Copies of this chain bind each other. A is one copy, B any other.
Amino acid sequence: MNLKEAWQILQKNELKRTKNREVILEFFADNDRYLTASDVKDFIEENNPNISFDTIYRNLSTFTELGILEETELTGERHFRMHCDPGVHHHHFICTLCGITKNIPQCPMDLLSINLPNYEIEAHKFEVYGKCPGCIAS
């Protein structure tokens, strides 16, 4: 997803265009990988030293609810990234060093014949972890 689409979604939901939201979204647009709330805070503080955690977490949660960002849990911390292709279900390879991702288009739920009668399936998680070519090289 690009910045324009993100702002269209925000506008559609009557959310205001604020400086903080602009900076946060630009940061994700420029960084195609999973990032933490601290990463976002560190980046923003280069220019605006007075951003509060309230603002960061609230916006990250809002963006995730609207499908602008996607979220996962890595080593005990929430990580966020720009939602690659909203509407198209996919999974990720995730680099454990830099957080960069690579799409895995196939979904195990389509391939496995999971038979769970009387169970109610609500969600699933499939992620592959390792090192990306860039991190292996350096």
Contacts and interface: CB of A to CB of B under 8 A. Distances in A.
Q: How large is the interface on A (under 10, 10 to 19, 20 to 34, 35 or more residues)?
A: 20 to 34
Q: Work out how many copies of this chain go into the complex.
A: 2
A119 B100 CA distance: 12
A121 interface: yes
A122 B130 contact: yes
A129 B122 contact: yes
Nearest to A95: B119
Nearest to A118: B133
A119 B133 contact: yes
Interface string A100-119: 00101010110111101011
Interface of A: 73, 76, 78, 93, 96, 102, 104, 106, 108-109, 111-114, 116, 118-133, 136
